[in-house]
Structure 1
């Protein structure tokens, strides 16, 4: 059994491409931020059954040192698994786009608007509502809110009729230099989560950002312009990122601006 005292000591590039790269229970704001800077994100067990399943499936690999334990000694390391898929799904901000049909709906009849960081915790809790498995635990949400207060975590909100209207979609995640790692998104109207991601790409590009990390591959990601890159390439990009990037614009903006021909495909 191997134990890494910190994320900087973990060679994530040697980990298996399709399983957890580590186990450990440190969901503190500092621990989460260090993990994202190493190209790793957490997936807390939603219940005792999932925690026990982690132990049953992966205990041998942990004992053999193929999957390390990260952080301080813990009585229950299997409560949180940590992941860094290979390949990694990403969205280059310059290529993130809406479909032609959604862009047409925005131009013609959807009075939606977007904002940044106006309702961070509400977006996180909307992303958690009704989700199975329930990986957005109370402990993780508390740390994400603290990271938001510190300027590392951000949300985009989609409003049906200005900021005084209904919140109908959103996305949130953590910024590391020129990379923004998206944790989750939600929608209450068809297309609202895609508008949130496209808006995030536009704001992040304006701040000097380069990549949106989608963490998990899906048709939804490819519809928006997502591609797969080798984990080594993704981690190299993270290591080359400097600082926390420039502040993204927070103003409430019309969503139809995202439906211009250069951004709709």
Structure 2
């Protein structure tokens, strides 16, 4: 069954029909987590969700084998064990358009009362990514994915935002930039409000760099409070394909309280 399934559904990034893929769950399995594959995926509106354990890989096969066999979920080349890497494209998808970003009142008050909080960008990318996986029960930020993201950072495609209290790193977020869209993969917080501050700062810096929208991938009250709204997959792919004149992401240290207006 397994070999026959792969033979029937194996495809490529170029041939992958993301628009016609499932709205919930993976659009594809397989491939690899090298920088070229990661960039190809983000450019097609996908993000990776690797299985960190053999048990998670088995769950993927049990849950989606029928959809793979039917060709609804595709299998990409480059991996001997395709169920170990899932590629997702939620439909709809929570997106913060930079002109509609906002800050909840309680966070504005907090930022005004913490004058020693500052923010930077790309100051310590790998440290932010590692912190984002610390203590998480769902460990999708595997070593292979971390290595691929760090290479993308070195090539100028992946970025981080850091929140500091004095010289202590207390929050951050990271993700991948594709044209006018920034796909924010994860965030962490060691002080109440620091993770939200990192996302708000990312939106502000990305707007200054000519960005149009920040994709936060997973919906929830915390991102709705920052202005995220669901965008259908077709609209999200149109954002990715839109013409854009990029400018460098501002990276300097800035006071976090400026975000409070």
Q: Same fold (TM over 0.5)?
A: yes
Q: 1:213 aligns with which of 206, 210, 215?
A: 215
Correspondence for 1:256: 257
Q: Give me the TM-score of the superposition, normalised by structure 2.
A: 0.95
Q: CA contact under 8 A between 2:114 and 2:257: conserved in structure 1?
A: no
Correspondence for 1:42: 48
What SS does the corresponding residue of 1:156 show, helix, strand or coil? strand
C-alpha separation in 1, matches of 2:93 and 2:83: 24
Alpha-carbon offset, residue 79 of structure 1: 0.3
5 Å matches for 1:117-136?
117-136=122-141
5 Å matches for 1:9-158?
9-72=15-78, 74-158=79-163
Q: CA contact under 8 A between 2:31 and 2:37: conserved in structure 1?
A: no
Q: Which consecutive residues of structure 1, in runs of 5 or more, have no partner in the other structure?
A: 261-265
Are 1:246 and 2:247 counterparts? yes
Are 1:3 and 2:10 counterparts? yes
Describe the superposition over 1:103-153 as per-residue Cα deviations: whole angstroms up to 9, x where unpaired.
112113342000000010000000010112110000000010000000000
Correspondence for 1:263: none
C-alpha separation in 1, matches of 2:212 and 2:90: 19
Name which of structure 1's ranges 59-68 and 224-233 shifts more when overlaid on structure 2: 59-68
Q: CA contact under 8 A between 2:115 and 2:255: conserved in structure 1?
A: no
Describe the superposition over 1:176-198 as per-residue Cα deviations: whole angstroms up to 9, x where unpaired.
00000000000000000111011
Alpha-carbon offset, residue 241 of structure 1: 4.1
C-alpha separation in 2, matches of 1:215 and 1:228: 10
Paired positions, count: 254
Moved over 2 A (4+): none
Q: CA contact under 8 A between 1:176 and 1:241: conserved in structure 2?
A: no
Q: Which consecutive residues of structure 2, in runs of 5 or more, have no partner in the other structure?
A: 1-7
What SS does the corresponding residue of 1:196 show, helix, strand or coil? helix
Q: CA contact under 8 A between 2:52 and 2:139: conserved in structure 1?
A: yes
What SS does the corresponding residue of 1:78 show, helix, strand or coil? helix
Alpha-carbon offset, residue 71 of structure 1: 2.5
What SS does the corresponding residue of 2:111 show, helix, strand or coil? helix
Correspondence for 2:186: 184
- With over 3 angstroms needed to count, the CA separation of the structure-2 counterparts of 1:241 and 1:23, relative to structure 1, is farther
